[in-house]
């Protein structure tokens, strides 16, 4: 069940981030992290699986951070254009 939950959260995070919804997408990245930590604490993940799951979460986090910076830069550009 937890493996399915992780997959569901990962899919939803990707979907939201692709739509540009950074904060809700990042919330699902955090849900992935919590689910992963639960699986890890239960000993349900092998060493090689652990690295794969960490990589998947790292990728999602990187996408969320990049989208956040892109949004921040575009809003700064818009503000500069308005002040001219």
Whose tokens are 């652990």? That residue is 50
Q: Answer whether residue 30 is part of any domain.
A: yes
Does residue 47 register a pLDDT over 90?
yes
When divided into structural domains, the chain yields a total of: 1
Q: Answer whether residue 58 is part of any domain.
A: yes
Predicted local distance difference test score (pLDDT) of residue 76? 79
Instruction: Name the more confident of 77 and 24.
Output: 24
Give the domain extent around 46.
6-83
Alpha helices per DSSP H over the chain: 2-18, 22-41, 47-83
Q: Which region, left, alpha or beta, applies to residue 45 given φ > 0 means left and ψ of -120 to 50 means alpha?
A: beta
Overall average pLDDT of the 52-62 stretch = 98
By the 8 A CB rule, do 32 and 6 touch? yes
Task: Residue 30: give its domain's CATH number.
Answer: 1.20.58.180
Overall average pLDDT of the 17-38 stretch = 98
What share of the chain has pLDDT > 90, as a percent?
87
Rg (CA), the chain: 16
Does residue 83 register a pLDDT over 70?
no
pTM of the predicted protein model: 0.87
Q: Answer whether residue 1 is part of any domain.
A: no
């Amino acid at each position: 069940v937890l493996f399915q939950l992780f997959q569901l959260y990962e899919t939803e995070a990707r979907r939201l981030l692709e739509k540009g919804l950074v904060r809700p997408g990042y919330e699902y990245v955090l849900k992935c992290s919590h689910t992963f930590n639960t699986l890890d604490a239960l000993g349900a993940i092998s060493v090689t699986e652990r690295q794969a799951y960490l990589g998947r979460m790292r990728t999602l986090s990187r996408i969320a951070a990049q989208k956040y910076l892109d949004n921040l830069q575009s809003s700064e550009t818009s503000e500069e254009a308005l002040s001219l």
